[in-house]
């Protein structure tokens, strides 16, 4: 499991500098536009912030996030979904982000500062050990991260634990269709592709 986490950290340390050319899908502003993010929210983000976006989907399509909600972004990356969540929750909401990669947490903090966003906590931790109390969040969002967890059952148990009764998980992710080639099955690097 440590080899897998190390490979993921190495990949996303590089992505934190720029996601351009590191994925088989559009990133940056073009990626966010293709995924249907709210244009008014996109236009309110500094270009440098939007350029660091590398999500695989739009978790905000899956349900409304109300003003005053408590939201956790599981694998917050460079922070664009934190920015969106903060805009939706308003000043009365609480928004938290966790990420496995120190460089991504640093980038998220820098991006949020650049955008003038306050009141968002971002910490380094993996998704199988969420450091918040039971029944804390109305919504947990995640964008292209759960597939990176080497222990998905524990990850989902942790998500369920921190969600309030009636809370929701809204996530977008990549999945493998078919069998994983045997040559990749034991490869730590395959987890971070």
Cα 48 from chain centroid?
18
Residue 43 CB coordination number (10 Å) = 8
Q: For the chain of 193 residues, list the mean pLDDT of each consecutive stretch of 10.
A: 68 65 77 95 93 92 97 96 97 96 94 95 94 98 90 96 98 85 67 57
Give the count of domains, the chain: 1
Cα–Cα distance, 181 to 178 (Å, whole number): 9
Quote the pLDDT of residue 10: 66
Quote the pLDDT of residue 167: 98
Q: Which domain range does residue 47 map to?
A: 2-192
Helices marked H in the chain? 2-15, 28-34, 39-43, 47-51, 80-89, 102-114, 152-162, 182-185
The CATH number linked to 95 is 3.40.50.150
* Of the candidates 105, 99, 97, the residue with the CA atom closest to the CA atom of residue 70: 97
Pairing mode of beta strands 137-143, 120-124: unpaired
Q: How far are the Cα atoms of 26, 30, 36, 37 from residue 33, in angstroms, in the given order?
A: 9, 5, 5, 6
Nearest 10 degrees: CA dihedral of 50, 55, 61, 64? -70
Pairing mode of beta strands 94-99, 70-74: parallel
Quote the tokens at residue 28.
């940056």
Quote the tokens at residue 78.
């460079």
Q: Is the dihedral of CA 90, 140, 125, 7 positive or negative?
A: negative
Cα–Cα distance, 114 to 49 (Å, whole number): 8
Quote the pLDDT of residue 177: 85
């Amino acid at each position: 499991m440590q080899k897998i986490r190390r490979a993921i950290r190495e990949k996303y340390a590089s992505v934190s500098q720029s996601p351009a050319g590191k994925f088989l899908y559009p990133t940056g502003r073009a990626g966010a536009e293709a995924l249907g993010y709210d244009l008014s929210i996109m236009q309110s983000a500094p270009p440098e912030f939007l350029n660091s976006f590398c999500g695989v989907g739009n978790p905000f399509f899956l349900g409304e996030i109300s003003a005053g909600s408590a939201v956790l972004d599981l694998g917050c990356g460079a922070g664009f979904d934190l920015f969106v969540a903060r805009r939706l929750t308003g000043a009365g909401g609480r928004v938290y982000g966790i990420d496995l990669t120190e460089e991504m947490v640093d980038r998220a903090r820098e991006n949020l500062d650049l955008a003038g966003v306050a009141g968002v906590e971002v910490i380094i931790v993996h998704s199988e050990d969420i450091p918040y109390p039971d029944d804390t969040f109305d919504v947990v969002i995640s964008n292209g991260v759960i597939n990176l967890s080497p222990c998905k059952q524990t990850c989902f148990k942790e998500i369920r634990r921190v969600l309030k009764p009636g809370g929701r998980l809204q996530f977008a992710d990549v999945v493998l269709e078919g069998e994983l080639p045997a040559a990749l099955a034991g490869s730590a690097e395959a987890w971070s592709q």
